[in-house]
Homo-oligomer: A and B are copies of this chain.
Amino acid sequence: MTELRVTSLDVAKLAGVSQSAVSRVFTPGASASKETITKVRKAAEKLGYRPNALARAMITGKSRIIGLVVAYLDNQFYPIALERLSNALQDRGYHILIFTATNTQEAIDKVMQELIDYQVDGIITASVGMTSELTGRCAAAGIPVVMFNRAQDGSGLSSVTSANENGARKIADFLVAGGHSHIAHIAGWGGSSTGRDRIRGFIDGLAKHEKTPVAVIDGMYSRDVSAQATRDLMALPNRPDAIFVGNDHMAFAVLDTLRHEYNMSVPDDVSVIGFDDVPLASWAAYDLTTVRQPVNRMVDATVETILAQIGDKNRPTQKIEIDGPLIIRSSARIPEGWHT
């Protein structure tokens, strides 16, 4: 009904001051007398005025919007991270323009372009890779980018990940100490740095004990693919007695398959270890041994980094790795002498 937009000019007229005065009252750093402030605030209150964020963004060149690109939301890790990121950024007065994009170059390129159209102050990508051409465009547009839970070598982009190699090494140690002889790995997607780093750390960790995995299969971060990989492993002549799965999300599928298709007992028949420690991992139905990705600290680091780069465009990018502990639960045999 009342289709009119109330502007700073309206407030100015009612308060008997200039438009600039109104603007200054609503601009944190600006100077205004006690008297003007109260007059303006009263008038604004009466008219229900609030500054137009878009107009403000255009003039200042700062939109206070952070673009967030995320691929999959069915892996519980990402909604959790998203929630935390959102809260942390809201506290700092930023807002999140969100895009879901499948992990293909075209989709991501398209989405990133649209983000840039909105003059976002910064971009956070969660679980997606980026074209080098695209990173170039962001750099050209002067938009900082931070990759969350994913890194990209030689991109010159900041990234925040957990210590994937080291985490996978811990898992190798744990499984070997548990006396497993046939150890397999259902890996995260080979197209992701996270997947590759975990493979590398795991193989390296096994090598330290002069062991090699009986098999390494790409699980593509998919339940279906991981379930099939499990079947393939069970069909092997040297059937594994331990499986490290590249993330929790896939590990749940592996557990379901072992228990309900093969009637196997975990960890008596097979030990299973995941990676991430999503909330679901602690639920009694799974009780999954896993390496924790410290979401809170990763989120804090991400927010710090992106804001720092927004504040100082010449600040060098950085690759942050945060170590997480092995969380010992009941899905993998616990070596003698390890304390839960």
A96 at interface (Cβ–Cβ under 8 A)?
Answer: yes
Q: Are A95 and B99 in contact, CB atoms less than 8 angstroms apart?
A: yes
- A27 close to chain B: CB less than 8 A: no
Q: Is the CB of A259 within 8 A of B284?
A: yes
* With contact pairs A3-B313, A79-B73, A96-B98 given, residues A54 and B57 touching in the complex (Cβ less than 8 Å): yes
A30 at the interface (CB under 8 A from B): no
Q: A74-B279, A142-B3 are in contact. Are A117 and B82 (CB under 8 A)?
A: no
Q: How far is the CA of A338 from the CA of B114 in the complex (A)?
A: 51
Binds B, one of A31-39, A83-91, A188-196, A198-206: A83-91
**At the interface, yes or no: A184 with Cβ under 8 Å from chain B?**
no
A9 at interface by CB-CB < 8 Å: no
- Chain B hits for A253, CB < 8 A: 283
Q: A2-B140, A57-B54 are in contact. Are A100 and B90 (CB under 8 A)?
A: yes
Complex contact A95–B118 (CB within 8 A): yes
Binds B, one of A44-52, A232-240, A298-306: A44-52
Point out the residues of chain B lying under 8 angstroms from A313, CB to CB.
3
Nearest-neighbour CB distance to chain B for A51, whole angstroms, equals 7
User: CA A52 – CA B57 in complex, angstroms?
Assistant: 11
Which residue of B has the minimal Cβ distance to A107? B90
Closest B residue to A96 by CB, please name it. Answer: B98
Interchain CA distance A279-B114 in the complex, whole Å: 31
Q: Knowing A3-B142, A283-B252 are in contact, say whether A118-B73 is a contact too (CB < 8 A).
A: no
Q: Apart from A48-B137, A97-B98, list 8 A-B contacts with CB within 8 A.
A: A52-B117, A53-B118, A53-B119, A76-B76, A86-B98, A255-B285, A256-B285, A280-B280
- Give chain A's interface residues, CB within 8 Å of chain B: 1-3, 5, 48, 50-55, 57-58, 63, 65, 68, 72-74, 76, 78-80, 82-83, 86-87, 90, 95-100, 111, 113-114, 116-119, 137, 139-142, 252-253, 255-257, 259-260, 279-280, 283-286, 313
